[in-house]
Amino acid sequence: MRSSDGYLVDRFLKLKEERSAYVIAHYYQRPEVQDVADFVGDSYSMALAARETSCQTILVAGVDFMAETAVILCPEKTVLTPEPEATCPMANDITARDVLEYKERYPDSIVVCYVNTPAEVKAVSDVCCTSSNAAKIIEKLPPGARIFFIPDRHLGHNIAHRLNRSIDLFHSCCPTHEEVRLNELLELKRRYPAAKILVHPECRPEVVEVADFAGSTKAIIQYAGSSDADSFIIGTECGILHPLQKANPGKEFILATEDLICPNMKSITLEKMIHSLEHMETRVEVEESVRDKARIALERMIEYSS
Protein backbone atom coordinates (compact mmCIF):
# COMPACT_ATOMS: atom_id res chain seq x y z
CA MET A 1 0.00 0.00 0.00
CA ARG A 2 1.30 3.45 -0.88
CA SER A 3 1.64 5.96 1.97
CA SER A 4 -1.05 8.11 0.37
CA ASP A 5 -3.41 5.12 0.36
CA GLY A 6 -2.74 4.51 4.02
CA TYR A 7 -3.50 8.15 4.79
CA LEU A 8 -6.82 7.94 2.95
CA VAL A 9 -7.80 4.77 4.78
CA ASP A 10 -6.93 6.28 8.17
CA ARG A 11 -8.77 9.50 7.34
CA PHE A 12 -11.86 7.63 6.22
CA LEU A 13 -11.96 5.30 9.22
CA LYS A 14 -11.65 8.28 11.57
CA LEU A 15 -14.50 10.08 9.81
CA LYS A 16 -16.62 6.95 9.87
CA GLU A 17 -16.21 6.78 13.63
CA GLU A 18 -16.85 10.50 14.10
CA ARG A 19 -20.08 10.35 12.08
CA SER A 20 -21.16 7.02 13.59
CA ALA A 21 -21.72 5.93 9.99
CA TYR A 22 -22.38 2.41 8.76
CA VAL A 23 -20.73 1.69 5.40
CA ILE A 24 -22.26 -0.82 3.01
CA ALA A 25 -20.38 -1.84 -0.13
CA HIS A 26 -21.13 -4.13 -3.06
CA TYR A 27 -18.74 -6.90 -4.12
CA TYR A 28 -18.11 -4.99 -7.36
CA GLN A 29 -16.47 -2.08 -5.58
CA ARG A 30 -12.73 -1.37 -5.65
CA PRO A 31 -10.72 -3.54 -3.20
CA GLU A 32 -9.83 -0.57 -0.99
CA VAL A 33 -13.51 0.39 -0.76
CA GLN A 34 -14.51 -3.13 0.22
CA ASP A 35 -11.76 -3.24 2.84
CA VAL A 36 -13.01 -0.16 4.76
CA ALA A 37 -16.71 -1.11 4.64
CA ASP A 38 -18.60 -2.44 7.65
CA PHE A 39 -20.53 -4.77 5.37
CA VAL A 40 -19.80 -6.12 1.88
CA GLY A 41 -22.38 -8.16 0.02
CA ASP A 42 -24.72 -8.58 -2.91
CA SER A 43 -27.75 -6.36 -3.44
CA TYR A 44 -30.07 -8.51 -1.34
CA SER A 45 -27.79 -8.74 1.67
CA MET A 46 -27.01 -5.01 1.35
CA ALA A 47 -30.74 -4.29 1.67
CA LEU A 48 -30.98 -6.44 4.80
CA ALA A 49 -27.85 -4.85 6.29
CA ALA A 50 -29.28 -1.36 5.79
CA ARG A 51 -32.52 -2.34 7.49
CA GLU A 52 -30.86 -4.08 10.42
CA THR A 53 -28.14 -1.61 11.41
CA SER A 54 -28.78 0.61 14.41
CA CYS A 55 -26.66 3.41 12.92
CA GLN A 56 -28.58 6.48 11.81
CA THR A 57 -26.18 7.32 8.97
CA ILE A 58 -25.60 4.84 6.15
CA LEU A 59 -23.03 5.37 3.41
CA VAL A 60 -23.78 3.18 0.41
CA ALA A 61 -20.83 2.33 -1.84
CA GLY A 62 -22.87 1.12 -4.77
CA VAL A 63 -24.97 2.41 -7.63
CA ASP A 64 -28.02 4.63 -7.17
CA PHE A 65 -30.73 1.98 -6.91
CA MET A 66 -28.86 0.39 -3.99
CA ALA A 67 -28.87 3.68 -2.08
CA GLU A 68 -32.56 4.20 -2.95
CA THR A 69 -33.34 0.74 -1.58
CA ALA A 70 -31.73 1.70 1.73
CA VAL A 71 -33.86 4.87 1.85
CA ILE A 72 -37.04 2.94 1.08
CA LEU A 73 -36.41 0.37 3.81
CA CYS A 74 -35.00 2.89 6.34
CA PRO A 75 -36.83 6.21 5.84
CA GLU A 76 -35.83 7.42 9.31
CA LYS A 77 -32.09 7.14 8.53
CA THR A 78 -29.74 9.40 6.60
CA VAL A 79 -28.50 7.59 3.50
CA LEU A 80 -25.50 9.01 1.67
CA THR A 81 -24.00 8.23 -1.71
CA PRO A 82 -20.38 9.21 -2.39
CA GLU A 83 -21.08 9.41 -6.14
CA PRO A 84 -24.62 10.45 -7.17
CA GLU A 85 -23.81 9.82 -10.83
CA ALA A 86 -23.06 6.13 -10.21
CA THR A 87 -26.00 4.44 -11.87
CA CYS A 88 -27.09 1.26 -13.66
CA PRO A 89 -27.73 1.46 -17.43
CA MET A 90 -30.03 -1.56 -17.31
CA ALA A 91 -32.10 -0.08 -14.48
CA ASN A 92 -32.48 3.14 -16.43
CA ASP A 93 -33.85 1.33 -19.49
CA ILE A 94 -37.27 0.81 -17.91
CA THR A 95 -39.80 3.36 -16.66
CA ALA A 96 -42.93 3.22 -14.53
CA ARG A 97 -44.91 3.93 -17.71
CA ASP A 98 -43.59 0.71 -19.29
CA VAL A 99 -44.94 -1.27 -16.33
CA LEU A 100 -48.29 0.54 -16.22
CA GLU A 101 -48.84 -0.01 -19.95
CA TYR A 102 -48.21 -3.72 -19.49
CA LYS A 103 -50.64 -3.82 -16.58
CA GLU A 104 -53.26 -2.11 -18.70
CA ARG A 105 -52.98 -4.93 -21.23
CA TYR A 106 -52.79 -7.68 -18.62
CA PRO A 107 -54.50 -6.42 -15.44
CA ASP A 108 -54.27 -9.79 -13.67
CA SER A 109 -50.54 -10.16 -14.22
CA ILE A 110 -47.85 -10.14 -11.54
CA VAL A 111 -44.89 -7.82 -12.06
CA VAL A 112 -41.67 -9.20 -10.60
CA CYS A 113 -39.20 -6.36 -10.43
CA TYR A 114 -35.46 -6.98 -10.24
CA VAL A 115 -33.97 -4.76 -7.54
CA ASN A 116 -31.84 -3.16 -10.30
CA THR A 117 -34.55 -0.57 -11.00
CA PRO A 118 -35.43 3.00 -9.96
CA ALA A 119 -37.76 3.53 -7.00
CA GLU A 120 -40.55 4.69 -9.33
CA VAL A 121 -40.52 1.31 -11.07
CA LYS A 122 -40.54 -0.62 -7.80
CA ALA A 123 -43.54 1.46 -6.73
CA VAL A 124 -45.72 0.11 -9.56
CA SER A 125 -44.45 -3.49 -9.25
CA ASP A 126 -45.91 -6.30 -7.17
CA VAL A 127 -42.76 -7.84 -5.72
CA CYS A 128 -39.03 -7.18 -5.97
CA CYS A 129 -36.30 -9.78 -6.28
CA THR A 130 -32.55 -10.14 -6.62
CA SER A 131 -30.50 -12.70 -8.52
CA SER A 132 -30.15 -14.67 -5.29
CA ASN A 133 -33.87 -15.06 -4.61
CA ALA A 134 -35.70 -14.52 -7.92
CA ALA A 135 -36.35 -18.22 -8.57
CA LYS A 136 -37.53 -18.78 -5.00
CA ILE A 137 -39.95 -15.88 -5.24
CA ILE A 138 -41.38 -16.90 -8.60
CA GLU A 139 -41.87 -20.45 -7.33
CA LYS A 140 -44.18 -19.03 -4.66
CA LEU A 141 -46.43 -17.29 -7.19
CA PRO A 142 -49.63 -19.02 -8.42
CA PRO A 143 -48.76 -21.63 -11.10
CA GLY A 144 -51.07 -20.16 -13.73
CA ALA A 145 -50.22 -16.50 -13.13
CA ARG A 146 -48.97 -14.35 -15.97
CA ILE A 147 -45.60 -12.94 -14.86
CA PHE A 148 -43.79 -9.91 -16.23
CA PHE A 149 -40.13 -10.02 -15.20
CA ILE A 150 -38.32 -6.69 -15.45
CA PRO A 151 -35.91 -5.43 -16.65
CA ASP A 152 -33.18 -8.05 -17.26
CA ARG A 153 -34.14 -10.39 -20.11
CA HIS A 154 -31.20 -12.74 -19.52
CA LEU A 155 -31.91 -13.24 -15.83
CA GLY A 156 -35.61 -13.66 -16.59
CA HIS A 157 -34.94 -16.16 -19.38
CA ASN A 158 -32.53 -18.18 -17.23
CA ILE A 159 -35.05 -18.38 -14.38
CA ALA A 160 -37.90 -19.29 -16.74
CA HIS A 161 -35.76 -22.09 -18.19
CA ARG A 162 -34.74 -23.32 -14.76
CA LEU A 163 -38.34 -23.40 -13.50
CA ASN A 164 -39.84 -24.54 -16.82
CA ARG A 165 -42.24 -21.65 -16.62
CA SER A 166 -43.52 -19.10 -19.14
CA ILE A 167 -42.45 -15.56 -18.21
CA ASP A 168 -42.88 -12.32 -20.16
CA LEU A 169 -39.61 -10.41 -20.39
CA PHE A 170 -38.50 -6.81 -20.81
CA HIS A 171 -35.80 -6.17 -23.40
CA SER A 172 -32.92 -4.85 -21.28
CA CYS A 173 -29.77 -6.54 -19.99
CA CYS A 174 -26.59 -5.76 -18.04
CA PRO A 175 -23.96 -4.33 -20.42
CA THR A 176 -21.14 -5.72 -18.26
CA HIS A 177 -22.40 -9.31 -18.06
CA GLU A 178 -23.29 -9.14 -21.75
CA GLU A 179 -19.54 -9.11 -22.39
CA VAL A 180 -19.22 -12.77 -21.38
CA ARG A 181 -19.39 -14.61 -24.71
CA LEU A 182 -19.64 -18.33 -25.28
CA ASN A 183 -16.74 -18.67 -27.70
CA GLU A 184 -14.31 -16.90 -25.35
CA LEU A 185 -15.56 -18.92 -22.41
CA LEU A 186 -15.07 -22.22 -24.25
CA GLU A 187 -11.56 -21.17 -25.28
CA LEU A 188 -10.70 -20.48 -21.64
CA LYS A 189 -12.12 -23.86 -20.68
CA ARG A 190 -9.89 -25.48 -23.32
CA ARG A 191 -6.87 -23.75 -21.80
CA TYR A 192 -7.91 -24.54 -18.20
CA PRO A 193 -9.79 -27.85 -18.50
CA ALA A 194 -9.87 -28.48 -14.74
CA ALA A 195 -11.37 -25.07 -13.97
CA LYS A 196 -14.98 -24.77 -12.86
CA ILE A 197 -17.04 -22.16 -14.71
CA LEU A 198 -18.94 -19.88 -12.29
CA VAL A 199 -21.16 -17.19 -13.81
CA HIS A 200 -23.81 -14.67 -12.83
CA PRO A 201 -27.37 -15.39 -14.08
CA GLU A 202 -27.37 -11.96 -15.77
CA CYS A 203 -25.12 -13.58 -18.39
CA ARG A 204 -26.39 -14.75 -21.77
CA PRO A 205 -28.44 -17.98 -21.65
CA GLU A 206 -25.89 -19.91 -23.73
CA VAL A 207 -23.19 -18.91 -21.20
CA VAL A 208 -25.28 -20.02 -18.23
CA GLU A 209 -26.03 -23.29 -20.05
CA VAL A 210 -22.36 -24.37 -20.10
CA ALA A 211 -21.48 -23.11 -16.62
CA ASP A 212 -20.84 -25.45 -13.72
CA PHE A 213 -22.68 -22.98 -11.51
CA ALA A 214 -24.77 -19.84 -12.04
CA GLY A 215 -25.65 -17.68 -9.06
CA SER A 216 -25.46 -14.33 -7.34
CA THR A 217 -22.13 -12.82 -6.35
CA LYS A 218 -22.54 -14.14 -2.82
CA ALA A 219 -23.44 -17.61 -4.11
CA ILE A 220 -20.40 -17.65 -6.41
CA ILE A 221 -18.13 -16.84 -3.46
CA GLN A 222 -19.74 -19.58 -1.37
CA TYR A 223 -19.45 -22.12 -4.20
CA ALA A 224 -15.76 -21.39 -4.75
CA GLY A 225 -15.06 -21.68 -1.04
CA SER A 226 -16.76 -25.04 -0.63
CA SER A 227 -15.58 -26.60 -3.91
CA ASP A 228 -12.71 -29.08 -4.07
CA ALA A 229 -11.58 -27.49 -7.34
CA ASP A 230 -8.42 -25.41 -7.38
CA SER A 231 -9.21 -23.14 -10.33
CA PHE A 232 -12.28 -21.25 -11.49
CA ILE A 233 -13.32 -19.21 -14.52
CA ILE A 234 -15.38 -16.29 -13.21
CA GLY A 235 -18.15 -14.72 -15.26
CA THR A 236 -19.13 -11.63 -13.31
CA GLU A 237 -17.75 -8.15 -12.58
CA CYS A 238 -14.05 -8.11 -11.71
CA GLY A 239 -14.60 -6.67 -8.22
CA ILE A 240 -15.57 -10.13 -7.02
CA LEU A 241 -11.98 -11.31 -7.47
CA HIS A 242 -10.96 -9.43 -4.32
CA PRO A 243 -13.18 -11.34 -1.85
CA LEU A 244 -12.60 -14.58 -3.75
CA GLN A 245 -8.83 -14.31 -3.46
CA LYS A 246 -8.95 -13.15 0.16
CA ALA A 247 -11.09 -16.12 1.17
CA ASN A 248 -9.25 -18.67 -1.00
CA PRO A 249 -5.55 -17.76 -1.19
CA GLY A 250 -4.58 -21.19 -2.54
CA LYS A 251 -7.00 -21.16 -5.46
CA GLU A 252 -6.78 -19.62 -8.93
CA PHE A 253 -9.46 -17.33 -10.35
CA ILE A 254 -9.54 -16.48 -14.05
CA LEU A 255 -11.79 -13.68 -15.27
CA ALA A 256 -13.94 -14.79 -18.22
CA THR A 257 -13.02 -11.61 -20.09
CA GLU A 258 -11.02 -8.48 -19.31
CA ASP A 259 -14.13 -6.43 -20.19
CA LEU A 260 -15.91 -7.39 -16.96
CA ILE A 261 -15.64 -3.92 -15.45
CA CYS A 262 -18.63 -1.82 -14.36
CA PRO A 263 -17.48 1.82 -14.74
CA ASN A 264 -20.26 3.05 -12.49
CA MET A 265 -19.23 0.80 -9.60
CA LYS A 266 -15.61 1.73 -10.09
CA SER A 267 -16.43 5.48 -10.08
CA ILE A 268 -16.60 5.34 -6.28
CA THR A 269 -13.26 6.05 -4.59
CA LEU A 270 -11.96 6.56 -1.07
CA GLU A 271 -11.54 10.26 -1.83
CA LYS A 272 -15.21 10.57 -2.72
CA MET A 273 -16.24 8.61 0.36
CA ILE A 274 -14.18 10.92 2.56
CA HIS A 275 -15.80 13.96 0.95
CA SER A 276 -19.22 12.41 1.45
CA LEU A 277 -18.74 11.97 5.20
CA GLU A 278 -16.95 15.29 5.66
CA HIS A 279 -19.86 17.21 4.13
CA MET A 280 -22.64 14.69 4.81
CA GLU A 281 -23.52 14.61 1.13
CA THR A 282 -24.99 13.59 -1.19
CA ARG A 283 -28.12 12.67 0.75
CA VAL A 284 -30.36 10.24 -1.12
CA GLU A 285 -34.07 10.95 -0.98
CA VAL A 286 -37.15 9.23 -2.37
CA GLU A 287 -40.48 11.05 -2.60
CA GLU A 288 -42.78 9.77 0.15
CA SER A 289 -45.63 8.49 -2.03
CA VAL A 290 -43.15 6.58 -4.20
CA ARG A 291 -41.25 5.27 -1.18
CA ASP A 292 -44.38 3.92 0.51
CA LYS A 293 -45.43 1.94 -2.56
CA ALA A 294 -41.92 0.71 -3.38
CA ARG A 295 -41.50 -0.46 0.21
CA ILE A 296 -44.41 -2.88 -0.23
CA ALA A 297 -42.65 -4.63 -3.13
CA LEU A 298 -39.35 -4.78 -1.22
CA GLU A 299 -40.95 -6.07 1.98
CA ARG A 300 -42.71 -8.77 -0.04
CA MET A 301 -39.32 -9.79 -1.42
CA ILE A 302 -37.93 -10.18 2.09
CA GLU A 303 -41.06 -12.05 3.23
CA TYR A 304 -41.07 -14.44 0.26
CA SER A 305 -37.34 -15.09 0.65
CA SER A 306 -37.53 -16.07 4.30
Structural domains in the chain?
A: 3-87+265-286 (3.40.50.10800), 91-174+290-305 (3.40.50.10800), 177-261 (3.40.50.10800)
pLDDT-derived band at 278 (thresholds 50, 70, 90) equals: very high
Predicted local distance difference test score (pLDDT) of residue 306: 81
**What residues contact 3, with CB distance under 8 A and at least 6 apart?**
none
Please tell me whether residue 117 adopts helix, strand or coil conformation. coil
Q: How confident is the model at residue 4 (pLDDT cuts 50, 70, 90)?
A: low
What integer is the mean pLDDT of 90-98? Answer: 97
> Are the C-beta atoms of residues 24 and 39 closer than 8 Å to each other?
yes
**Mean pLDDT of all residues belonging to the chain:** 96
Return the closest-CA partner of residue 61 out of 26, 20, 30.
Answer: 26
The phi and psi torsions of 60 (rounded to 5 degrees) equal -105, 110
CA–CA separation, 111 and 158 (whole Å): 17
Is pLDDT of 3 > 90? Answer: no
In this prediction, residue 250 has a pLDDT band, given cuts at 50, 70 and 90, of very high
- At residue 290, the pLDDT reads 97
Q: To which H or E segment does residue 149 belong?
A: strand 147-150
* Distance set, CA 101 to CA 104, 107, 111, 113, 166 (Å): 5, 10, 12, 15, 20
Are the C-beta atoms of residues 113 and 137 closer than 8 Å to each other? no
Q: How far apart are CA 158 and CA 135, in angstroms?
A: 9
H or E element that contains 120: helix 119-123
On the question of pLDDT at 84 being above 60, the answer is: yes
Whole-model pTM: value is 0.94
Query: CA quadruple 206, 212, 216, 217: dihedral positive or negative?
Result: negative
